[in-house]
Structure 1
Amino acid sequence: MTIKPLIILPDPVLRVTSEPVERIDDAVRELAADMLETMYDAPGIGLAGIQIGVPRRILVIDLAKDEEPRNPLVVINPTILSVSDERSLYEEGCLSIPEYYAEVERPARLRISFQDLDGKTQERDADGLLATCLQHEIDHLNGTLFIDHISKLKRDMVIRKFTKAAKRVVA
């Protein structure tokens, strides 16, 4: 397992729409292991392939608290089947937008279809933090960031801040 470098805003790679995973093989299983290792190292609770520069429809999530045993979920080629009308508000952050948090309103519950690491199609219902996290990571697969769900004024401020920081690193 290898810890991969994270893609950080304003890198345009984050806006790329990810392609489906065609075959679930050892390379995909290794990618999932690398993604989990990268997410745990960051530390974070979710990571999409595009966040490490791999434009494939794969994401990993682990909501276990520090004192709990790890409980990783690997989701390949997810499709949102349904969402609730009920909404919930969570303060979201993102490993690709470090140290920035904002409240985002999303559907409170959803049902997804996806493939697991054995290539089996699964369906799963989620609510609470898992529902929010799944929607956040699936957004990444579609080239959408959580800041796209906040006001234009706040989004523009965040993008300017990260663009300036990126220019300082290059200079």
Structure 2
Amino acid sequence: MAILKIARMGHPVLLARAAPVADPTGPEMRRLVADMAETMHDAGGVGLAAPQVHVPLRLFVWRSPGGPVGGGASVLFNPVLSPLDDEVVTGWEGCLSIPGLRGAVPRARRIRFAGLDGEGRPVEGEAEDMLARIMQHEADHLDGTLYTMRMPDLSRLGFNEELARFAPPKPGGEGSR
């Protein structure tokens, strides 16, 4: 396994639509998934999309919210996500491709997802709250969308240190985290 270089905001790979993965079971895909998981864990992230490591393919990895940073990662190839209802919540997001910043981003609270797992088998399910946010954030990367592009109010974008120092309230008025 290897730690991969993470593309930062401004690199064209982050603004392009990624191509579908033809065969998730090939050795190059297994190696990529393992390297992406190791890179995500090394960087302290909770999710990582292939375009973020300069690979324009439709897959992302994530770790369960609240799970250990070095814990196992899940993968979804060729994901399709859709909201389960109209409920949208605004929450703080950061991104490994936009280091040092975070912003308040509205997302569907509950989603349905479908795609292929690491063995190439169809998988589908539902996610809510933090897991739904992670999956939507990573799926956005596959379409060339960064979280800042989803922000309706750029006054809610700031450097992590400043936001922590001034303890902004969570979007929705629930206090800071």
TM category (shorter chain) comes to 0.7 to 0.9
Counterpart contact for 1:61–1:133, Cα < 8 Å: yes
143 and 79 in structure 1: CA distance in 2 versus 1, 3 angstrom threshold: same
What percent of counterpart residues are identical?
Answer: 37
Could you say what secondary structure the match of 1:100 adopts?
strand
Counterpart contact for 2:79–2:113, Cα < 8 Å: yes
Structure 1 match to 2:59: 58
Counterpart of 1:3, as a letter, is I
Mapped to 2, the partners of 1:75 and 1:95 lie a distance apart of: 19
RMSD: 2.2
Structure 1 match to 2:144: 143
Mapped to 1, the partners of 2:69 and 2:100 lie a distance apart of: 24
- Structure 1 unpaired stretches of 5+: 159-171
Mapped to 1, the partners of 2:69 and 2:54 lie a distance apart of: 30
User: What is the CA-CA distance between 1:72 and the residue it aligns to?
Assistant: 1.4
Counterpart of 2:13, as a letter, is V
User: What is the CA-CA distance between 1:138 and the residue it aligns to?
Assistant: 0.3
Deviation per CA, 1:2-35, whole angstroms, max 9, x where unpaired? 1001000111221011000001211101100000
Could you say what secondary structure the match of 2:10 adopts?
coil
Mapped to 2, the partners of 1:53 and 1:62 lie a distance apart of: 20
User: What is the CA-CA distance between 1:63 and the residue it aligns to?
Assistant: 2.8
Structure 2 match to 1:19: 19
Give the length in aligned residue pairs: 158
Mapped to 1, the partners of 2:157 and 2:90 lie a distance apart of: 21
Could you say what secondary structure the match of 2:138 adopts?
helix
- Structure 2 unpaired stretches of 5+: 160-177
User: TM-score scaled by structure 2?
Assistant: 0.82
Structure 2 match to 1:103: 104
Structure 1 match to 2:45: 44
Mapped to 2, the partners of 1:113 and 1:67 lie a distance apart of: 25
Counterpart contact for 1:115–1:122, Cα < 8 Å: yes
User: TM-score scaled by structure 1?
Assistant: 0.85
Structure 2 match to 1:167: none
Range that drifts further, 110-119 or 79-88: 79-88
Structure 1 match to 2:92: 91
